[in-house]
Structures are given as C-alpha cells and as structure tokens.
Amino acid sequence: MRVEARAPARVDLAGGTVDIWPLYLFHPGAQTVNLAIRCYASCVIETRADRRVVFISQDQEIRETYESLTDLALKTSELPLVRELVLFFEPRRGVTIKTTSQVPAGAGLGGSSALNIALCGGLARVTGKRYARTQLLEIAKNVEAVVIRVPTGWQDYFPALYGAANAVHLERDGVKRERLPLSFSDLEKRFVLCYTGQPRDSAINNWEVMKAHIDGDPKVRRNFDEIVTIASQMREALLANDWNDVAELLALEWENRKRNFVGISTPKIDKMIAQTAKHGTLAAKVCGAGGGGCVVFLVAPGTKAAVEQVLARMGGKIIPFAVSRVGLEVRSNQGELAVGARRGGRR
C-alpha cells in the first residue's frame, strides 16, 4: 500500500500563545484567529514486505533504517516526531516514510504541526485505524508535547485539519473551532508573507512566556488580557470586512506581544516593518512565537507588489499568500481520498 498525505501550515493573526493549556482558563473569552495557507507539509508512506522501518526526510537529508518496531523503540532518532508517531500507530508491517515540507525551518507557520497532522492521517490510513478528527488532533498534540518536552498549544492543528479561516474558541467546556466565512480573494490581495531567513524556536519563546504567566507576573497577565480582547475584536473586524480595524488590531497585537518577551522581535524584523511602511504596509506582526521566522504584513490596496519587492531587496523570501480551502488530505493507491478523517469527527 502507498499513502500520500498533506496538511497546510497557517498564519496566525491574533490570540497566539494563549492557546496553551492552562493559560486560556485564566482569560475568559480566549480565542485565536488564523488562516490555513497553501504551504504544505507532506508524507508518503509505503508498506514493505519485510518488518523494517525506514525514515527519509527530504528536507533534512536524513535517512534512518530500523530492523523492526522493537528496534525503533530501543533507539533514538534524528526525526523524533516521526519515531513517536510510528510507535503510537504500530503498523503491523514494515513501512518506509518520506517526509517533505514547503514550510521553511523555524518559520513560525506551524509547519511541524502540519507535518504531524499529515503523518497522523497517513499512518491512520495505512494501519486501518479509524479516528475522528478530534481524536487525530489529540494524538498529534500529545505526541508533539512528548517530543518537544514542553506544553503545546491548540491552534496549529485546526487549520492543518480543516483549512480555511478559523476562530478557535478556548473555553472551559472544551476547545471549539468556528469556520469564518471570509472572502479569501480579499485576504490574498491584502496580505504579504515573508520569511526573514532567521529561524526561531517556538518551544523556548512560548515556554518563557508561560512560565512568567504561571509565576504570576502581573505585566504578562495584563498583556494576555489585552491579547484576548484583541483576538475577539479581530474576529469581529474580519467578519465585518473592516480593514481599518484589522490593521489597527494587528499592530496592537504585535505591540502587546513584544512586551511579553524581549526576544520576540529582532532588529531585522523591526527594520523590515519600518521600511515597508513607506511603501504600503499598514501593520505587521511576527507569525508564531517570534524571535525570527515569518512576518505577515497587511498592506494598502494596490501596494502588495511594491512591499514584496522591498522585502526581497532586504533579503526576505516571499511566500505566496494563498488561503488553503481544505485541510488534511489523504490519498491511497487504491483511489481513495479522505479530507480530515471520517465525517463524524467534525467539530
């Protein structure tokens, strides 16, 4: 059997970091707002005639071979996420797993979570295990926490599973996804996405902020209150198609986020935002936890090309901003296609 799976990365517009348990429980009304983008993490899984387990990371140029699942369990791997997921799904036959990603390393676009979801979908199909999408999300979230050794947030898995535009509501009775009925063509005309060339470590940045919050830092807690308010207002502004408010809120989100942790911005990011403001940028923020990675720019109508040119001259890599209408896709050589998992698992 041969199975191909892919899942989209995301751009977060407001409310990030508050999606880590239990931070959102201290801030009633917490939510995150994000967009799935056509920048994918993918895997190809092929069953084998023997019991060997083979990992091939095309991006990292890593190839590992294990004689069996038992051998895999006894050894470490340079691809720990793949290892942990294979050990969880326990394929009965040997497998060869090839992974690749269009997401730059350390981009802040949730690339590892997108690959995680793609692997979960692919391994579930290969092993014949039927999981609702809510279950796949739980598996992906928990396995990633095992790998990175710090708590993980919720928001990255929803765009990877469902695609489109999302408000993820973080409530005491559960985490719920709301699909936002936005004009994707408007979004694609107004946003620019740029990779700065400086990778970042979201686990470190998020963990520092989380520790400060749990330790009772009043400044961090006040900033999170403000971030929650901004995220709620961002959702409303997007639904109302009020781009002046969207710009104001995006800038306000970025200013509050910078106050949480000194390493969230960098001199290069600050310079990119300042320089492009002369050519049409209305507001901008770092994607994900910051400290490098990608920056999303909201630009005035008709100025997208000019802003992209400035960023390219400054050494940035432009990532085409296009919304992915669908999330996880799984194909097998038996001609089947599954989007997400079985329909009964939709939230």
Query: Sign of the C-alpha dihedral, residues 230, 234, 236, 237?
Result: positive
The token pair that represents 270 in the structure block:
């600050």
Predicted TM-score (pTM) of the model is 0.92
Which of 185, 170, 265 is closest to 224 using CA atoms? 170
Partner residues linked to 295 by β-bridges = 194, 286
- The pLDDT assigned to 342 comes to 36
Helix (H) or strand (E) holding 57: strand 53-57
Query: Sign of the C-alpha dihedral, residues 63, 66, 68, 69?
Result: negative
- The pLDDT assigned to 219 comes to 85
pLDDT in tens, the chain (347 residues): 999 999 999 999 999 889 999 999 999 999 999 999 999 999 999 999 999 999 999 999 999 999 999 999 999 999 999 999 999 999 999 999 999 999 988 899 999 999 999 999 999 999 999 999 999 999 999 999 999 888 888 999 999 999 999 999 999 999 999 999 999 999 999 999 999 987 655 555 677 778 888 888 898 888 889 999 999 999 999 999 999 999 999 999 999 888 766 667 889 999 999 999 999 999 999 998 766 789 999 999 999 999 999 999 999 999 999 999 999 999 998 755 444 433 333 34
- The C-alpha atoms of residue 5 and residue 312 are separated, in whole angstroms, by 32
The token pair that represents 131 in the structure block:
């999981």
- The pLDDT assigned to 331 comes to 96
- In single-letter form, the type of residue at position 44 comes to V
Domains of the chain (ranges; CATH) run 2-180+324-345 (3.30.230.10), 184-319 (3.30.70.890)
